[in-house]
Amino acid sequence: MNKRLLPRLRRRLQVWLGDRPAFTSDVSTGGFAIELMSTLLPGTMVHGQLRVGEQELPFTGTVTWSFRAEPRLQVRGRAGIRFTGIDPGFFELFAR
The pLDDT > 70 percentage for the chain reads 83
Q: Tell me which of 65 and 19 has the higher pLDDT.
A: 65
pTM (predicted TM-score): 0.80
pLDDT, averaged across the chain: 83
Residue 60 has pLDDT above 90, yes or no: yes
The contacts of residue 73 (CB under 8 Å, 6+ apart) are none
Phi-psi region of 85 (alpha: psi -120 to 50; beta: other; left: phi over 0): beta
Which is it for the CA torsion 81, 87, 92, 96, positive or negative? negative
Structural domain boundaries in the chain: 14-94
User: Per residue in 31-40, pLDDT tens?
Assistant: 999 988 777 8
Cβ–Cβ < 8 Å for 78, 33: yes
Residue 8 has pLDDT above 80, yes or no: no
Q: What mean pLDDT do residues 13-23 have?
A: 88
User: Per residue in 38-52, pLDDT tens?
Assistant: 778 999 999 999 888
